[in-house]
Amino acid sequence: MLKRYFPILTWGREYNRATLEADLIAAIIVTIMLIPQSLAYALLAGLPPEVGLYASISPLVIYALLGTSRPLAVGPVAVVSLMTATAVGDLAAKGTPEYLGAAIALAFISGIMLLVMGLLRLGFITSFLSHPVIAGFISASGILIAAGQLKHFLGIKVPGKTIPEVAEGIWANIHQINIPTVLISIFAIGFLYWSRKGLKPVLIKRGLTERLASVLVRAAPVVAVIVTILVTWALGLENWGVKVVGEVPEGLPAPTLPPFDPALWGQLFVPALLISIIGYVETISVAQTLAAKKRQRIDPDQELVALGGSNIAASISGGFPVTGGFARSVVNFEAGAATPAAGAFTAIGMAVATFTLTPALYFLPQATLAATIFVAVLTLVDLGAIKRIFTYSPGDAMAMVATIVVTLLDGVDVGIATGVILSIGLHLWRSSRPHVAELGQVPGTEHFRNIRRHRVETAPGVLSLRVDESLWFPNARFIEEMIYDRIAADKSIKHVVLNCPAINHIDSSALEALEQVNEQLKDAGVRLHLSEVKGPVMDRLTRSDLITHLSGQIYLTHFDALATLAPETTRDCADLSRCETHR
Amino acid sequence: MLKRYFPILTWGREYNRATLEADLIAAIIVTIMLIPQSLAYALLAGLPPEVGLYASISPLVIYALLGTSRPLAVGPVAVVSLMTATAVGDLAAKGTPEYLGAAIALAFISGIMLLVMGLLRLGFITSFLSHPVIAGFISASGILIAAGQLKHFLGIKVPGKTIPEVAEGIWANIHQINIPTVLISIFAIGFLYWSRKGLKPVLIKRGLTERLASVLVRAAPVVAVIVTILVTWALGLENWGVKVVGEVPEGLPAPTLPPFDPALWGQLFVPALLISIIGYVETISVAQTLAAKKRQRIDPDQELVALGGSNIAASISGGFPVTGGFARSVVNFEAGAATPAAGAFTAIGMAVATFTLTPALYFLPQATLAATIFVAVLTLVDLGAIKRIFTYSPGDAMAMVATIVVTLLDGVDVGIATGVILSIGLHLWRSSRPHVAELGQVPGTEHFRNIRRHRVETAPGVLSLRVDESLWFPNARFIEEMIYDRIAADKSIKHVVLNCPAINHIDSSALEALEQVNEQLKDAGVRLHLSEVKGPVMDRLTRSDLITHLSGQIYLTHFDALATLAPETTRDCADLSRCETHR
C-alpha cells in the first residue's frame, strides 16, 4: 500500500552506483537546459523570472518521491504557462502581489484537484478530451504564445492574449520599436533555430556520438543566454532601451501558503480544472511514450497523485502550475536518467543556480527569453495534422479546426470548451445513426449477410436486422423509428429478428425502446425476436421485463431463428444435424 | 415534395363520409375534454384563462395541415405550461402585459426553432435526452405542478416554484386558509379521482362498451366544472373568498406578432430550446406509439415542422407554447379519429366555446381547475420507475434520481441540464472502460474465447485481445495503457493480435492511439496485428497511415493470425485444408 503511493520505496531499493552515475549526468544536462526555460516560462506566465526557478525545484523533489515514470521531468511548460497568464490576467494586473498570489493559488488548487482525482481514481476524466481537440488546442496555443513574443522582439508594449488583440496592439505601437532589441532577437532566434537544425551534424562531424550531440543541442539556449548577457553588459544596451531581466532575488523563498480567499478560489476553479486536465494529459502522454520504449509500467492514477503533489509543492515554494514537459523529459531519457532521482538531482542543480547565478541574470535581455520560447513553441504547431485527420475523418478535423479558430480568436478557455462540446456532440451524433443491415442467408450456409452487399436469400414474413452499434440513448429512438418504418412499409412482415452480435451494451433508454417496440409490434400482429445476444448483454437483460414480455424468442444463432420461423426457406442448410445441435 | 411538407395532400384525397363521421365524433369528445384542460393549463402557466382557449384553436388547424400523425392532438400540456411559467416568471410579474408578451414570444421562438430543426433534419438533437432523464424530469415536474396547486386548494397566496419555496410559502401563509375553497377542492379532487377509478366500471355496468366508457370518463372534469360553477353562483361563494375565473373576453383576438425585443429573445433562447425539445419528445413518443398500433408511418422531421408551425400559430393568435398531449391524443385515438381533420374540427368546437361559453365561466372556481391539473399530473409521477431502472442499471437510476432531486429543489431548467450532463457523462464513463477479453483457442476448433470463461489454449509469445466496444476518444487512452501494461508484465510477448469483430467504429483519437501503440511496440520488439476487422472500419483504415506503418499484419480471421504467428500451437486444427482456404 505504502509502496503504491511512494514508488520510491520500490526503485530506491535497487539503487546503486551505476544508476547514481547515470542520474547525475542526466541531471546536469537537464539543469543546463532548464535554467533558461524556467526563466522564459515565468516571463510567459507574466511572473518575475525567479518564480520560474522556484517552480523547478521542489516539484521535482516531490515527483521523485511520488512519480511512477522514471524519466519524466516536471516543471513550468509553455501551454500551462499561457493558461496561467490567461487565468490570472483576468483577475489582477501584471506585476502586482495579487497577480503573483493568484498564480500561487492556481498551482495550489490545481494540485489539490489532481491529488483528489488521483486518490479517487478519476483519471478517466481526461479521456473526454479527444485527440483532435488536444492537438488543435496545443497548436493554437503554440501560435498564441509565438504571437505573444512579438512584442518582446520589437521592444514594445502590447496588451491582450488573442490574435486580434495582439495584431491590433502591435499595429498601434509599431512606431515605438526598439532597434537594439530587434537585433538581439534576430541573433537569438537565428542562432536557436540553426542550433535545432544545423548544430547536430556539426557536432557529429567533430566526432561526438549522435546521442551526445542531440543532448548537447538542447544546451544551445544557454549559449544564447550567455552571449546576449555579455553583449548587453559590454555595450550597456539596457541604456539603449533593451529590456533586461534586472534584479533577481538570491536564494530560495521561505515556504508560504497561498492566499485563502474564497472569491479568488471560486474564480480560479474552472481555469485550475482546465490546467489540471491539460497538464495531466501532457504528462501522461510523455510518461507513457517513454515507459513503453523500455517496457516499463506507469500507474496513471499515481501520476495524478504525483503531479498533484508537485503542484502543491510548487505553490508552497512560491511557484506557479507545473507539469511534465515533453522536451525536457525526452532529454532526461536520452541523457540516460535511470530513476526519478535524476529529477531530485536536477532540483539541487536549480537550487544552486538560484544561489549563484542570479546576479549574472541582471543583464539577460527579455528578448532572448522570448526567442527561447518562440523557437520552442513552434514545434507545438502542427497544422498538417488537420489534413491528416481530415483524410481519415472530416468530422474530427472540423472539431479540430473549430478548436484552433476559437482558441486563437477567443482565448484558451473558450477554445478548449468548444472543442470538448463539439467532439462529444459529434460522437453522439455518430452513434445516433448507427449502421443497420437487413440480413439474408448466404445460400447453402448458416451465414447471414447484408442484403445490399451480398447475394443472399430472405424468408417471406421475416425481417432480419443487424444493428452495428451498442444500443443507448442517442440511438434508442432511431432504432424504434427504423423498425416501425419497416413494418409499416411491408405489411407482410410477421416476425422481426434483431441480430445482436455487434451490440456490446444496451442502456436503460434502449431497453425502454425495445420494450416499446415489443408492445407496439404485438399490437400490430408482429413478433420480436433476438439472436446472438452477447453474454454480458444477456446477463443484464435477464434482470429486465423485456425477456418475460418478449413476444418472440431469443435464439443462440441467427440461423436457429430462421430455421424456426421460416423452416421451409432455411431447409437447404448444408448440415442440418449440426444446425440442430446448435439450439 | 409538396406532399412531404403538406401531408394533408395525401390523406385529404382519401377523405370520405366514413372518415368524416369518425373525425366529427372524436372532435366532439376531445372538445369537451379540452375546454377545462386548456383553462387549467393557462392558469398553471400563470396566464389569463382565455389564453388557454386561444392556444387550443389555431395550432390544431395548422397541425391538421402539416402533421403526419393521424390521432395526435396538440395544445397546452402540463409540463410545458410549467416550463413556460418558470421561463416567463423570471422575466416579468404575473398579470402584466409583459408576462403575456413574453409567453407569446416564447411560443414564437420555440416555433421557429422547431421549424428550423425540422427543415434542417436536426431531429436527432432530441435523442440526447436519455429515457431515465426524461422520465425523472416528467415525474419531478408532476410533483412540482401538484405542489403548486396546493395554494389554490387552500385559497392562499404562495410565490415560488421549487418545493422548498412552496413549502416555506404555505407554512408562512397557512393562517389565511379559506374554508369554502378547501371544501370545493375536496369535492373536485374526490370526484375527479373517483371518476378515474370508479366511474368506468359503473358505466360498463350500465351497458356501455368499454371503449365508450373510457372515453366518457375523460369528460368527468366538465361535470366538476359545471357543478362547482353552479354551487359558486348559487351560494355566492365568490363573496366568501372563493377565487373565481371572473371576466373572460368573448370571441377570438386579432392576430398579432410577438414583441421583437432582442434582449427578451436572448433571455428566452435557452428556455425556448428546452421547451422545444421536451415538447417534441412528448409529441413524438405519443405519435409513434399510436402510429405503430395501426402500422402507420410518421415522419419525425415533418413532425418538427408541424409542431413548429403549431407554435407559431399559437403565438400569432395570442397563445403560449403547445405540444402533442398524451391523454388527449389517446382519447382522440380511442374515440376513432381517422385523420388530422379531427383536430381541425376540435378547433372549430373550441372557437365556438370562446364565443358562447365564456360568460358561464365567470363563476368557475380556480380551485376546480387546480383539481383538474392535480389529478391529471399525478399520472405523470412514476417513482416506481426508479426501482425498475435500478434493477437493470444502477447508474441510469442515479441519473434519474439526480434529475428528480435537482428539478424539485432547483427548478426545471437546472434539473434537465443536470440530467443531460449526467447521462452523457455516464455513457462516456462506461465507454471509457470497455470490456477486454484475452482470447485462447478452443481446442480442436477455429474458435477463440475469453480465457477467463472457457477452457482454451494460448500460444506462447502471442497475446490475443478482443475489445468489446468501438474505439473512440473516451477509451483511446485506456486501450493504449492496457496494451502497454500487458507487454510490460509479460516480457515474453512478441506479438499482440487485436481481435476486432466488436469494433464498429474507430475515431481519429483511437487511430492515433493505435499508431502510438504500433510505434512503441515496435521499439519494444513487439509486433501489432489486427484480425476480423469489419468492412466499414477497414474501409476507413485504408485511408490512414496505420496500415502502411503497421508492424504486423491484418488477418481475415483470428485463426489465420494464430496459424501464421504460432503454427506449432495451432496445428491441431480439425480441418487444416479449410483453414488454408480462409486465408
The owner of cell 437447404 is A572
Least CB–CB distance from A487: residue in B295, B509, B511: B295
What's the rounded Cα separation, in Å, for the pair A290 and A307? Answer: 17
- Tell me the one-letter amino acid at B277: I
What's the rounded Cα separation, in Å, for the pair A244 and A229? Answer: 9
Whether residues B295 and A511 touch (CB distance < 8 A) is answered with no
Q: Which residues contact B111 (CB under 8 A, 6 or more apart)?
A: B307, B308, B309, B310, B311, B312, B313, B314, B315
pLDDT bucket at B324, cuts 50 / 70 / 90: very high
What's the rounded Cα separation, in Å, for the pair B559 and A260? Answer: 62
Instruction: Determine the distance in angstroms separating the CA of A339 from the nearest CA of chain B, rounded to an integer.
Output: 17
Mean pLDDT of B198-206: 86
pLDDT for res B570 = 55
Mean pLDDT of B235-257: 87
Question: Taking a C-beta distance cutoff of 8 angstroms, is the pair B456, B443 a contact?
Answer: yes
Least CB–CB distance from B502: residue in A129, A294, A502: A502
The owner of cell 408541424 is B306
Predicted complex ipTM? 0.81
- Residue A465's nearest CA partner among A503, A509, A432 is A503
Chain A partners within 8 Å of B126 (Cβ): 477
Whether residues A509 and B130 touch (CB distance < 8 A) is answered with yes
Whether residues B468 and A536 touch (CB distance < 8 A) is answered with yes
Whether residues B130 and A507 touch (CB distance < 8 A) is answered with yes
The owner of cell 511514450 is A289
pLDDT tens digits along B460-509: 899 999 998 899 988 988 898 899 889 988 989 999 999 998 898 999 99
Q: Which residues contact A211 (CB under 8 A, 6 or more apart)?
A: A334
Chain A partners within 8 Å of B513 (Cβ): 131
Query: CA torsion sign, A235 to A239 to A243 to A247?
Result: positive
Chain B partners within 8 Å of A489 (Cβ): 297
Mean pLDDT of B94-122: 93
pLDDT tens digits along B408-467: 999 888 898 899 888 888 888 888 888 899 999 988 888 888 898 888 888 889 999 999
DSSP labels for A448-498? EEETTTS--B--TTEEEEEE-S-B-HHHHHHHHHHHHHHHHH-TT--EEEE
Q: Which residues, listed in sequence order, are joined to residue B471 by a DSSP beta bridge?
A: B506
Neighbours of A192 (CB within 10 A): 20
Chain A partners within 8 Å of B288 (Cβ): 480-481, 484, 516, 520
Distance of CA B118 to the CA centre of its chain: 16
- Can you give the residue ranges of every domain in chain A? 16-380, 436-582
Query: In this model, does residue B572 exceed pLDDT 50?
Result: no
Whether residues B300 and A481 touch (CB distance < 8 A) is answered with yes
Angle between helices B163-173 and B394-410 (to 10 degrees): 40
pLDDT bucket at B220, cuts 50 / 70 / 90: confident
pLDDT for res A570 = 55
Q: What is the pLDDT along chain A (583 residues), one digit of tens a residue?
A: 777 788 888 888 888 888 898 899 889 989 988 998 999 999 999 999 999 999 999 999 999 999 999 899 999 999 999 999 999 998 998 889 999 999 999 999 999 999 999 999 887 777 778 889 989 999 999 999 999 999 999 999 888 788 999 999 999 988 889 999 999 999 999 999 998 888 888 888 888 888 788 778 888 888 999 999 999 999 988 888 889 988 888 888 888 888 888 899 999 999 999 999 999 988 988 888 888 888 888 888 999 999 999 999 999 999 999 999 888 898 888 888 888 899 999 999 999 988 888 888 899 999 999 999 999 888 889 888 899 899 999 999 999 999 999 999 998 888 988 998 888 888 888 888 888 999 999 888 888 888 988 888 888 899 999 998 899 988 988 898 899 889 988 989 999 999 998 898 999 999 999 998 999 899 889 999 999 998 889 999 998 889 999 999 999 989 999 999 987 665 444 444 443 333 3
Neighbours of A273 (CB within 10 A): 16
Residues of chain B with pLDDT > 90, as a percent, come to 48
Least CB–CB distance from B473: residue in A130, A288, A520: A130
Least CB–CB distance from B292: residue in A297, A484, A501: A484
DSSP labels for B282-321? HHHHHHHHHHHHTT----HHHHHHHHHHHHHHHHHTT---
The mean of the pLDDT values for chain B is 89
What's the rounded Cα separation, in Å, for the pair B304 and B119? Answer: 8
Interface A–B counts its CB contacts (< 8 A) at: 201
Please give the angle made by the CA atoms of B563, B567 and B569, to the nearest 5 degrees.
100
pLDDT for res A412 = 86
- Tell me the one-letter amino acid at A289: T
Whether residues A131 and B434 touch (CB distance < 8 A) is answered with no
Q: What pTM value is reported for the model?
A: 0.81
pLDDT tens digits along B498-551: 999 889 899 999 999 999 899 989 988 999 999 999 888 999 999 888 999 999
pLDDT for res A577 = 41
Least CB–CB distance from B396: residue in A284, A432, A508: A508
Chain A partners within 8 Å of B507 (Cβ): 130, 393, 396, 427
pLDDT for res A305 = 95
Chain B partners within 8 Å of A430 (Cβ): 505
Neighbours of B1 (CB within 10 A): 5
Topology of the domain comprising B436-582: Transcription Regulator spoIIAA (3.30.750)
Pairing of strands A462-467, A527-531: unpaired
Least CB–CB distance from A127: residue in B289, B473, B544: B473
